[in-house]
């Protein structure tokens, strides 16, 4: 028997769910007809699973889901989103908010019970997620924390899978991936120019990878800025293809320009994270980037990164401005300054920090 929280402003549906979950499912239910009340109940006494309606007065189910994911006590709580909307964009919004499953109203109670039992069984078994793929992080507006997220995401993904992982810094103007990891950026990808794209092979590329103490391998950016386009398209295509054969996980810290290397990485990526800060220039740039990359919209994810302390605009306002749901919301973390000074990412030296916890949730979402 599990304790299940149901949040829905329809009284009849609440009563029906109580009867089905308690009599047929033999579960304990906690009911709430108001979003903020339901959120408070979840945080005060976390349930084993939550079923949340989307459209409610005062606060949406998406926002409840985000706040549950942002709280360590409920970060791994299985969540089912219920909505009367059945478009693909609604499913994407539910999953982007952090839901594990999405079901449309009117919901068949037998199907709901099956979904509940499946999620509870998965949680009891501690089934690990298959976190694998090639993930690119990008912002054409500099200074919004792309490198910090890329480093922490790569460390998190490698720890979650326990296997080989590679982090690539494609910045042509002295990137900072190696710096944040306390590594000397030598060798780096500029040295591959001497080999030429056609002569590249697995041994040559592996010889240019740095080894971090965490087990992460790094293809660093050159210390001195590169004049011109940077790494040629043919070379990065060959490099990515070879690295994908060697590493189940690849994270790419993209340059803040859509050069040949960036486009090649976008094409090869399984997921593209567009990082945005809650300030007008970043929002404007992200709107333009979404338009330019619209042909890859099926793998685009918006990540809100809070780079300054203090009150921030609500996530819903950013979503309205971008006309796109947010996949992740990374809170401001005062301990990040110390991590930069120590050249040790928070995902390694402080995994319980707000940034590290949010990065863990982001890794799960991008890997779905």
Range of the domain at 55: 3-125
What does DSSP assign to residue 102? Answer: E
- Of 70, 90, 125, the one marking the end of a domain is 125
For residue 211, give the CATH number of its domain: 3.40.50.300
The answer on 199 and 57 residing in a single domain is no
Domain finish residue from 125, 149, 184:
125
Contact present, 1 and 26 (Cβ < 8 Å):
yes
pLDDT of residue 197: 47
In angstroms, the CA 353 to CA 326 distance is 21
> What pLDDT score was predicted for residue 317?
93
In this prediction, residue 131 carries a pLDDT of 64
pLDDT at 98: 81
Residue 264's nearest CA partner among 290, 294, 291, 232 is 232
Rounded Cα distance between 209 and 43, Å, is 44
pLDDT for the residue numbered 129: 47
Measure the CA–CA gap between 41 and 53, rounded to whole angstroms.
Answer: 15
Structurally, the chain folds into a number of domains equal to 2
Long-range contacts of the stretch 120-124 (C-beta < 8 A, 24+) = 120/2, 120/48, 120/49, 120/78, 122/78, 123/48, 123/49, 123/76, 123/78
**Residues 329, 190: one domain?**
yes
Q: Which of 105, 125, 145 is the last residue of a domain?
A: 125
Q: Tokens 């402080």 identify what position?
A: 350
pLDDT at 246: 86
Check residue 162 and give its pLDDT: 65
> Please, what are the averages of pLDDT over each run of 10 residues along the chain (368 residues)?
91 91 90 94 92 91 88 83 80 80 87 89 64 90 96 92 86 94 93 65 89 92 83 86 89 94 93 96 97 94 94 91 92 94 93 92 84
Q: Looking at the structure, do residues 121 and 203 belong to the same domain, yes or no? A: no
Q: Report the CATH number that the domain containing residue 83 is assigned in CATH.
A: 3.40.50.2300
Note if the bond before 330 is cis, omega within 30 degrees. no
Exposure of 144 by Cβ count < 10 A (0-12 exposed, 13-18 middle, 19+ buried)? buried
| 191 shares a domain with 100 | no
């Amino acid at each position: 028997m599990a304790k299940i929280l149901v949040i829905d402003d329809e009284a009849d549906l609440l009563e029906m769910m109580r009867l089905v979950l308690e009599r047929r499912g033999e579960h304990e239910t906690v009911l709430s007809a108001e979003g903020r009340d339901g959120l408070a109940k979840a945080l005060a006494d976390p349930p084993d699973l939550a079923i949340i309606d989307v459209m409610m007065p005062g606060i949406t189910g998406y926002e409840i889901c985000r706040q549950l994911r942002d709280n360590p006590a409920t970060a791994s709580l299985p969540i089912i989103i219920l909505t009367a909307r059945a478009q693909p964009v609604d499913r994407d919004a539910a999953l982007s908010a952090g839901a594990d499953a999405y079901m449309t109203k009117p919901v068949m109670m037998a199907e709901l019970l099956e979904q509940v039992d499946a999620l509870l069984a998965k949680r009891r078994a501690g089934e690990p997620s298959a976190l694998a793929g090639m993930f690119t992080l990008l912002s054409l507006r500099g200074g919004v924390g792309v490198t910090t997220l890329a480093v922490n995401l790569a460390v998190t993904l490698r720890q979650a899978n326990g296997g080989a992982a590679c982090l690539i810094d494609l910045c042509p103007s002295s990137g900072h991936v190696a710096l944040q990891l306390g590594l000397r950026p030598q060798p780096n990808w500029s040295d591959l120019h001497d080999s030429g794209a056609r002569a590249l092979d697995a041994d040559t590329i592996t010889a240019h990878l740095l080894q971090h103490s965490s087990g992460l391998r790094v293809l660093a950016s050159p210390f001195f800025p590169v004049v011109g386009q940077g790494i040629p398209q043919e070379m990065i295509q060959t490099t990515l293809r070879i690295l994908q054969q060697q590493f189940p996980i690849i994270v790419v810290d993209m340059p803040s320009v859509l050069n040949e290397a960036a486009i090649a990485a976008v094409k090869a990526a399984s997921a593209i994270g567009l990082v945005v800060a809650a300030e007008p220039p970043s929002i404007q740039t992200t709107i333009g980037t979404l338009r330019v990359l619209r042909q890859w919209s099926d793998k685009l994810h918006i990540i809100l990164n809070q780079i300054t302390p203090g009150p921030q605009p609500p996530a819903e306002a950013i979503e309205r401005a971008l006309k796109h749901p947010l996949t992740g919301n990374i809170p401001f973390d005062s301990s990040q300054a110390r991590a930069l000074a120590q050249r040790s990412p928070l995902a390694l030296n402080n995994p319980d920090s707000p940034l590290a916890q949010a990065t863990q949730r982001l890794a799960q979402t991008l890997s779905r």
